[in-house]
Structure 1
Amino acid sequence: MADDSAKTPRAAAASAVEAAKAETSDKDLPVNGDRRRTWQDMTNANGDQPKANVPAGLWLRCPACAAMSYRKQVEANQHVCPECDHHYRIGADQRIKLLVDPGSFEPLWDNLGPKDTLQFTDRKSYKDRIAAEQKKTGHKDALVAGKAFIKGRGVVLAVMNPEFMMASMGSVVGEKITRAIELATELDRPVIVVCAGGGARMQEATLAVSQMIKTSAALARHDDAGGLYIALLTDPTTGGTAASFAMLGDLILAEPKALIGFTGARVIANTVRQELPEGFQRSEFLKEKGFVDRVIHRQDLRSEISRIIDYAGK
């Protein structure tokens, strides 16, 4: 099938970054200036507050290399740091936009929302917490699912949203993943789950933990029917998510340097009383140990997923 662009993903992203630089070089960046020095020049004498004429949120500091980058450059580069290649965490809407063919995503089951069955309260009630997250993200819960096309290949896609309670898995997340798997089985389409988050949502207790069983059983039925399941692990994928559907893919893909594991490295180190190896619980380390099949740069995901679908005959 013909590609939907004459440029490679990396070339297209590079062009977009250059366009973003050109758009702002005359007003935001000196022609031959260094970005780090530019940020310092835009602060007051005490170095802690930007000048009033600098719009808030114009710059991003990379959490990996600490370089200051113009926000539009990062966005044009698919939310990847142009200095060190760090992959920023992104929400479900951004993820869908980067993965699927334009205009092809058809959302499903958006009416499903969580209930505060246990009337759980920590620093605030679960009911109030859910309402705040829904207002912030515009979504009912921490997963967006639907039908879509990736370079012309029909798929059923489920994307966990780290912007909503850190993509924790409650009853709605588990139900929507299960429905997505069952729909993919019915339509004989590949199902792709973009995994993220810290696992089962504590505010739903056993009901949340039971979603591990529910989703795994649906995947077993999908496999029995000859279906293809691709799991994409993003930063972070931990807890009950990592211990269930995230690790059951026919192919398990991961973004570079994503944190992947069941429990925290500090807890493990204190338990085994040993120093953990460098890169422990990162996607490259897991690939080396056989838990991940491929580590794929965000700019290459569309092309690689479409190739996998073709190879599987789906």
Structure 2
Amino acid sequence: MEHFAIVEGELGDGQQSREAVFLLFRSASRLRDHPSDSSLHESARLAVKLRGGAELTQNGDAVTDLPEEGQPIEAVSTVYSGTTFRSRLEADWARTLDTQSILWQYEPEQFTLPSGAHYLPDFWLPEIGTWLEVKGPATPRKEKAVELGKVRACRCDGPCACAWPGGEMVLLGWVAERAHGDINVARSRSGYASWAAAHGPSAYFALCPWCGLRQWITLRRPWKCRACRRSLESEELYQPHDRVLPFGSGSGWSPADTVAIRREIAEQIAEAEAADSEDSRSEAPYEA
């Protein structure tokens, strides 16, 4: 196999080549899309062995050990801020909430849904009336979160009289969005937060200028702060692709950061397109 030939040729004397390990990680990361490919499992297990049982991202962060063939990726319990989380991804979301000064409670309440299913959401954000369910690549099912979102949504016939505008929100938190040009091939523990509403209109991240709380709202009008209920009609609203909410241990965000972030992304895209254009010209056949 190509991966093993490279490793045998470059490791030598116990020195582990970063390039070789990254090639193995590339195979490992493809397991989510091709779980039955035995060659990928072989490469993934070698990558784990090379790094002492834990896959690493480019910046050295450890991520979940890789599974045996045909088995789901197991979550690794992680302690953060005195709380033991069921997975690193949950702990990273707690850290993300902390950087935004969003108060959270971990698994405070279990529900019996109308379907009869029992459901224990990951986070309750009491200041903004939002449930957050963290979903990694090994736990793609979201039926319970969707059902809870339907049950807790506003059902008022007239103006909303719920404790929070639009009722309680149920949010799905995904793995991080990578920054443009990021070459990490492992499951990322940094980058930018990615989310979606479990039910109803899309969820947007916003900062209330009146009470200062960062929060998610939907586009159901009127747009109001979920805490102080003041209008957010004239405020900037952000989706995951805007990449304004640093994930994990990233620094806090303010609207003033957005222009710089978007400019940086635009410059990176322009540079990449210019390089592609230059390569295309250099590869074009010469015509006399």
Fold equivalence (TM over 0.5): no
Q: Which has the higher helix share?
A: 1
Q: Which has the larger radius of gyration?
A: 2
* TM superposition score normalised by structure 2: 0.34
